[in-house]
Structure 1
Amino acid sequence: MSTPPTWFASPADAAARLGESGYLADAATATTAYLAGALEKPLLLEGPAGVGKTELAKAVARATGADLVRLQCYEGLDEARALYEWNYKKQLLRIQAANAGGGPEGGGVDWDATHDDIFSDEFLLTRPLLTAIRREEPTVLLIDEVDKTDIEVEGLLLEVLSDFQVTIPELGTVTATRRPFVVLTSNASRELSEAVKRRCLYLHLDYPDAAREHEILQQQVPDLDDRIAEQVVATVARLRELELKKAPSIAESVDWARTLIALEIRDLDSTAIRDTLSAVLKHKSDHERAVKELKLNRA
């Protein structure tokens, strides 16, 4: 039996290489990323939107030189969009061509031969799950926002998550020759099944503490003045304490910092916060609540 590929040599190696790729991983994240590769188990990332779940999968791909295959989940996602489907139009054309070229008396060709022909790889349209399973190159499979799908879709994932294989009735079982690094993300809008959770390593990602968010801002917005960075981190932390429809994520913090640089704002006072709040809050009710709670009304 061949030795499975090593994604990271150690948790420290994972932290260092993810950092070089632009993702600042804390100890828990680096350790779990290392274990997901070493144990060849899918990694389930759960937490609020915008804390870096999807970005972690992208960072693993960048850090390891792997290709990223992404399945974006949504309500109504089905097997044809997640696993595979047959190219029915092409199959029909082949059947018509086979019948047209029948025997000398115009009879059709043998159906078994035609069946074996049209249910072959030539007529198979692979979707993200099957694509990732069939690849021989290092691959990161991102199953993004799995909580947005119907619960029935989780059944489609079990075979992939357990055995890294897909069963196609007409062709048989396709087993991964090189297991992908699988990352599932969830915003916890609904509870995932225990069957899915059992097959995964689990990591909850939350908003970073002030020191780490400051470090992220310095990395992502290198031109940002250190004093402004501290003000952004402190103000975002205050906003997250409010009962908002959508609390600002790390991405919004970065956008806000870039906005302040573009406007050449060197002090995040009440006027500056009020005038640039739209870069951070994306709902009218949240904007109004922040203005009220932070006392940002114009004098």
Structure 2
Amino acid sequence: MQRSRLPLLGLRAFEATARHLSVTKAAAELCVTPGAVSQQIKLLEETVGVPLICRKGRSMELTDAGQVLRPALTQAFQTIELTLNAIARRPRHDTLKLCLLPTLAEKWLMPRLARFQGAHPEVDIQIMTSFRAIHFEAEDVDMASFLGKSLPTGLEGVRLFDDAFLPVCSPALLRRYERLAVPRDLARATLLYSVRRMDDWQRWLTLAGEPDLRPQHSLSFENSSLSIQAAVDGLGVAVIQHAYVTDLLKAGLLVTPFDLVARSENGYYLVWSPTRAARPTFRSFLEWVLKEVGHTAA
């Protein structure tokens, strides 16, 4: 059905009635008469060509089609309501918008963010996650993450940490293996992969002198964050960026069966367009990031 022909009044009447299972309560919520609600639902049913509500005595039930339609409408109306509330409310604080790699946001930024909020309670931060490149001139984003050898042309940034990775697993899993003393013992283990970093295990094994090692089992995940959680849960051994698991290693939730660290020429950067760098909110956040990583902007 074309958007221009959507029966919006009927959809509102049906959603409220389906939620309350009562025409009377739906009418009170919508500030119309019960007869008007019933008429709108009837017109909606005629438009879609199937019944949506059936009556059994004094009770009301949704048909199969009604049960499919109702949650979709409720979610859509809730989204519209939240969006309208957000744009109608005058913001009290300045907002900084970040778009980061999912694991970078969860494992690097989030454990540190309380320190920034404590120092700058006047700043609101909106965090989005994505694997795609951000086009600052066309998107409402202040800062984004970038993985590469150097800064992209035309952007400024700061190098957060090097691309250095090593195997990690839970202490319980390490105890469960009778012997995990040398890299070749990993052939008996389940190796955990991020599909975004499928070459990391091969690069680490090559550096460890076992380029032809093939594990008995493997599990792959959408991103490194899931691989880390799988390692914490004892599902296997993951090879993970050291910066993402520092706190977990200190807390004893993960251990390193081998000390060998593999590295690439890449680094993890926080980047931005020079046109966005003048705002006081931006400068406050950047100064905090520089203190966290211990150096100055690139």
TM over 0.5: no
Structure 2 length as normaliser, TM-score? Answer: 0.25
Structure richer in strand, relative to its length: 2
Q: Which has the larger radius of gyration?
A: 2
